[in-house]
Amino acid sequence: MRRGSGSGPAWWLQVLSPFLLPLFHGALPDQIRYSIPEELAKNSMVGNLAKDLGLGIQDLPTRKLRVSAEKDYFTVNPESGDLLVGDRLDREQVCGKQLLCVLEFDIVAEKPLNIFHVAVILQDINDNAPLFKQSEIDLNIGESTRPGKAFPLDPALDADAGSNSLQKYYLTDNDYFEVTEKETPDGRKYPELILKRFLDREEQNFHQLVLTAVDGGDPPQSGTAQIRIQVTDANDNAPVFSQDVYRVALREDVPQGYSVLQVTATDQDEGVNAEITYSFHRVEEQVERFFKLDKRTGEITTKGNLDFETAKSYSLSVEAKDPGDLASHCSIQVEILDENDCAPEVIVTSVFYSAA
């Protein structure tokens, strides 16, 4: 069997004029052409050769029409002269992506010996949906990634030809991403995910989208892939104290190492970006003499003996800093109570609450 191609819109007319045949007196007609859709059942009729070759039905037993071809794509019914489909024909298997799929072969007749050339066009039907090799696509995208950044994805494949093949990609409606189709220099098309605006891990650390590939068939067929996007952290948040100002009253006779107060700051980032170090910030020398700050826990303890006569109050400022040097501050007002005072040992009052 040979494959060939046509040369004009009229060439595929189902049957070349049988009226010309008598002029040839048994000489070979050019070619008989038929057109059938792919996937017809076995023994489906392609056309009636006897009629199209101008042979009388009474001559058929003598002429013994048969197909001469490498492959058994077609058979002839010797009684009726019908050309039949030998077996189900899959256009994608026979012709691949080739837009025009033509099967050429010879019909042999005996007494006298004639050879007729026949061509059957196998029309494409939309029997393949676009298919993604991977139904799940996982991406990690940093929240500091600039809008406009493109992420190439594997294309969906559709074995059909022409408009029955893949036409377009669609993405779930969302605020952050869109999909476009790109082409490699050698003509292979693939979808690309484009970031439309900055992601914010602290607001939403995971996005799930559905990528749909649609072909141009009637009706169209489609295939989908899940895109799962994990947003990775950038250090874009400073630590924030639970209070802007802390107030505490202390008896002057509390022992050394007495726990005065614990300040707490939180950082909305993740992992190392949220590791906080506490330190005194621009405090007077005597504050450092009397108070100790644990840089990990934020706990403030007494270091030396307080003396009401020396100072009645202290003002402390504490800084909370992350590894990216993003920092914030709080202040602590410590009032020293005379030991003769009957006030409770420690009074902690929250004055201002931060938004957090």
Instruction: Catalog residues that contact Ca ion under the rule CB under 5 A.
Output: 124, 126-128, 158, 160, 164, 201, 215, 233, 235-237, 267, 269, 273, 322
Shortest CB 311 distance to Ca ion, Å: 35
Shortest CB 267 distance to Ca ion, Å: 4
Looking at the Cβ atoms of 54 and 324, the one nearer to Ca ion is 324
Shortest CB 127 distance to Ca ion, Å: 5
Looking at the Cβ atoms of 114 and 126, the one nearer to Ca ion is 126
Looking at the Cβ atoms of 106 and 236, the one nearer to Ca ion is 236
49: left (phi over 0), alpha (psi -120 to 50) or beta: alpha
Work out the angle at residue 48's Cα, subtended by the Cα atoms of residues 121 and 56, and round it to the nearest 5 degrees.
145
Q: How far is CA 85 from the centre of its chain?
A: 42
Q: Do the beta carbons of residue 171 and residue 140 sit within 8 Å?
A: no
Q: Do the beta carbons of residue 239 and residue 328 sit within 8 Å?
A: yes
Looking at the Cβ atoms of 78 and 162, the one nearer to Ca ion is 162
What is the rounded CA–CA span in Å between residue 54 and residue 45?
18
Q: Six-digit token pair at 332?
A: 């602590």
Shortest CB 252 distance to Ca ion, Å: 39
Looking at the Cβ atoms of 107 and 195, the one nearer to Ca ion is 195
Q: Do the beta carbons of residue 82 and residue 76 sit within 8 Å?
A: yes
What is the rounded CA–CA span in Å between residue 293 and residue 197?
42
Looking at the Cβ atoms of 267 and 319, the one nearer to Ca ion is 267
What is the rounded CA–CA span in Å between residue 265 and residue 281?
15
Q: Do the beta carbons of residue 244 and residue 217 sit within 8 Å?
A: no
What is the rounded CA–CA span in Å between residue 305 and residue 44?
106
Looking at the Cβ atoms of 104 and 236, the one nearer to Ca ion is 236
Shortest CB 81 distance to Ca ion, Å: 29
What is the rounded CA–CA span in Å between residue 351 and residue 258?
23
Shortest CB 329 distance to Ca ion, Å: 15
Shortest CB 13 distance to Ca ion, Å: 23
CA atoms within 13 A on the CB side of 79: 0
